[in-house]
Amino acid sequence: MQAGPTGRLGIVGERGFGCYWSARTLSLIGDYAFRTAFATHIITVSGSASVLATATAVLLLPSLLFYLVGGAVGDRAGSRRRIMVSADAARFLTLVLIVLSTLWTDSVPLLVVLAALIGIADGFFQPVAFAYMLEITPKEKLVAANSALSVSQQIGLIGGPLLGGFLVSFAGAPWTFAFDSLTFLLSGVLLLAIGKAPAATAAGPAGSAGQGDSAPAGQDGQGDQAGTSEDKHGADAGSGRLRQLLGDVSQGLSYVRGVHWLLISIVVGACTNAVYAGVLDVAVPLLMAPNGARDAGSLGAFYTLQGVGALLGAAVLVKLTVRRLGVTLYLMLALMACSLAAAGLIGGGNGALAMAVLYGVGLHFFNSLFPSLLQGKVPEHLMGRVGSFALLGFNALMPLGALLMGPLIAVLDAGDAALTAGVAAGCVSLAALLSPSIRRLATVPSQDAGPEPAGAELPTPAGPGTDAAPAR
3-state secondary structure of 433: helix
Distances (CA, A) of 161 to 33, 34, 396: 5, 8, 25
Question: For 209-218, what is each residue's pLDDT tens digit?
Answer: 333 333 333 3
Q: How far apart are CA 224 and CA 196, in angstroms?
A: 32
Question: What is the pLDDT, as a whole number, of residue 10?
Answer: 65
Residue 128 has pLDDT above 50, yes or no: yes
**pLDDT at position 421, please?**
93
pLDDT at position 97, please?
A: 92
Average pLDDT over residues 319-341: 85
User: Exposed/middle/buried for 105, CB within 10 Å: 0-12, 13-18, 19+?
Assistant: exposed
Asked whether residue 284 carries a pLDDT value surpassing 70, the answer given is yes
The predicted pLDDT at position 416 comes to 92
Query: Per DSSP, which regions of 58-133 are E strands?
Result: none
Say if residue 198's pLDDT is above 60. no
pLDDT band at 418 (very low <50, low <70, confident <90, very high): very high
- pLDDT for residue 422: 93
- What is the number of H-type helices and E-type strands within the chain? 17, 0
> What are the C-alpha distances in Å from 48 to residues 5, 43, 177, 291, 427?
53, 6, 22, 11, 30
Q: Which of 41-55, 150-164, 194-208 has the highest mean pLDDT?
A: 41-55
Least confident of 45-59, 166-180, 205-219, 242-256: 205-219
Quick one: what percent of the chain has pLDDT higher than 90?
Answer: 12
Name the residue with higher pLDDT: 176 or 450.
176
C-alpha distances in Å from residue 293, one per residue of 45, 98, 166, 347:
9, 18, 10, 19
Q: What is the mean pLDDT of residues 109-130?
A: 82
Tell me which of 15-29, 122-136, 426-440 is least confident: 122-136
The mean pLDDT value for 47-66 works out to 80
Q: What is the pLDDT of residue 340?
A: 93
Distance of CA 395 to the CA centre of its chain: 8
| Phi, psi for 379 (deg, rounded to 5) | -55, 145
Question: What is the pLDDT at residue 42?
Answer: 87
Q: What is the pLDDT of residues 69-78, one digit of tens each?
A: 666 666 666 6
Specify the pLDDT at position 215. 37
Instruction: Write the single-letter amino acid at 342.
Output: A
Q: What mean pLDDT, rounded, does the chain reach?
A: 75
In this predicted structure, the answer to whether residue 463 has a pLDDT above a threshold of 50 is no
- Interior/surface letters 260-289, b for 16+ CB within 10 angstroms, e for the rest: bbbbbbbbbbbbbbbbbbbbbbbbbbbbbb
User: Does pLDDT of 123 surpass 80?
Assistant: no
Mean pLDDT calculated for residue range 159-180: 87
Closest alpha carbon to 397 in 472, 306, 303, 307: 472
Higher pLDDT, 256 or 443: 256
pLDDT at 457: 27
Provide the pLDDT confidence category of residue 186 given band limits of 50, 70 and 90: very high
pLDDT per position as a tens digit, 379-389? 666 666 777 67
pLDDT at 50: 85
Q: Is the pLDDT of residue 367 over 50?
A: yes
Distance of CA 279 to the CA centre of its chain: 18
Res 383: pLDDT = 67
Which of the pair, 159 or 257, is modelled with greater confidence? 159
Instruction: Pick 302 or 222 by higher pLDDT.
Output: 302
How would residue 468 be classed by pLDDT, with cut points 50, 70 and 90? very low
Domains of the chain in start order, with CATH, are 9-206+247-439 (1.20.1250.20)
Contact 313, 365 (CB under 8 A): yes
Residue 324: DSSP 8-state: S
Nearest alpha-carbon partner for 293 in 469, 434, 168: 168
* Dihedral sign, Cα of residue 87, residue 93, residue 98, residue 101: negative
Q: In sequence order, what DSSP letters do the residues of 269-323 get, joined into one string? A: HHHHHHHHHHIIIIIHHHHH-TTGGGGHHHHHHHHHHHHHHHHHHHHHHTT----
pLDDT confidence band for 182 (50 / 70 / 90): very high
